[in-house]
Amino acid sequence: MAKISVVLLAGTESHGDLGRLVNAISLVKEAKEAGDEVELVFDGAGTEWIPELEDEEHKMHRPYRAIKDEVAGACEFCAGAFGVKEAVREAGIAFLSEFEGHPSLRRRIEQGYRVVTF
Q: Where do the structural domains in the chain lie, given as residue ranges?
A: 3-117
Quickly list DSSP for 21-89. Answer: HHHHHHHHHHHHHTT-EEEEEE-GGGGGHHHHHHSTTSTTHHHHHHHGGGEEEEEHHHHHHTT-HHHHH
Q: pLDDT for 49-100, tens place per residue?
A: 999 999 999 999 999 999 999 999 999 999 999 999 999 999 999 999 999 9
Distance CA 14, CA 86 (A): 23
Q: What topology is assigned to 3-117 in CATH?
A: Hypothetical Protein Ychn; Chain: A, (3.40.1260)
Q: pLDDT for 3-58, tens place per residue?
A: 999 999 999 999 999 999 999 999 999 999 999 999 999 999 999 999 999 999 99
What is the rounded average pLDDT for all residues in the chain?
Answer: 98
pLDDT of residue 110: 98
Residue 86: CB atoms within 10 A of its CB come to 11
